[in-house]
Amino acid sequence: MSRIAPDTRQEIISEASRLFAEWGYKGTSLQDIARAVGVSKATLLYHFATKEAILAELMAPAVAELVALDIRLAPLTGEDAQRMAATGFTDLVVRFRAQLAAMHGDIPELIKLEPLDNVLALSERLLDAMTGHSTDPGAYLAAIVLLKGLPAACAKAADVPDDELRPALVAISERTLGVSLTHPSR
């Protein structure tokens, strides 16, 4: 009888993340993940019934943080909403950049899957907050650039330390939105 190591579940998540980043979600099979972990596909299926279940667990902390950001943004308007949305999203993409790198090329398709189906609505509300709830087309386009661009930048900046990446992304967000994120009086 074989013994399953107690950290096998976490190792599956870790290897899946690495393979998703390298080959994409669609390009990675359950067999690929099992092989990378060094377990049988049956062992993998013991821990996760589907590839979507692996994705859900991989992304659960990031989605929970996005939900918390959404709650903090709900009562805010104008530049306060923009500041909180931009800095909160920047913190989120920096903190979860490994997960975003794993999903990067597949994000539009993956957010349609059941484990992530609430992300689209959360993203729309985040986009609205980044505009300061404005109907100005320029504000909307700037917010789209940040919403799509910051995760892409994090995916490509794997070697940049967090303490350098975050201030650079905040500066980019300030220029893009035309709002000071660090000095509300400006």
Q: What is the pLDDT of residues 84-122, one digit of tens each?
A: 999 999 999 999 888 877 776 677 677 777 767 788 889
- pLDDT tens for each residue of the chain, 186 residues long: 344 566 889 999 999 988 988 888 888 999 999 999 999 999 999 999 999 899 888 888 988 999 999 999 999 999 999 999 999 999 999 998 888 777 766 776 777 777 677 888 898 999 999 999 999 999 999 999 999 899 888 878 878 999 999 999 999 999 999 888 876 654
For the chain, which residues make up each domain, given as ranges?
8-49, 59-177
* Type of residue found at 97: R
| E strand or H helix at 174 | helix 162-177
In angstroms, the CA 70 to CA 65 distance is 9
In angstroms, the CA 157 to CA 165 distance is 8
Closest alpha carbon to 142 in 62, 150, 96: 150
What does the block give as tokens for 164? 């350098």
The rounded percent of the chain whose pLDDT value lies above 70 is: 91
In angstroms, the CA 60 to CA 32 distance is 22
Q: Which residue has the tokens 């907050």?
A: 129
Whole-model pTM: value is 0.84
In angstroms, the CA 35 to CA 41 distance is 8
* Type of residue found at 117: D
Length of the chain: 186
Fold assignment, 8-49: Arc Repressor Mutant, subunit A (1.10.10)
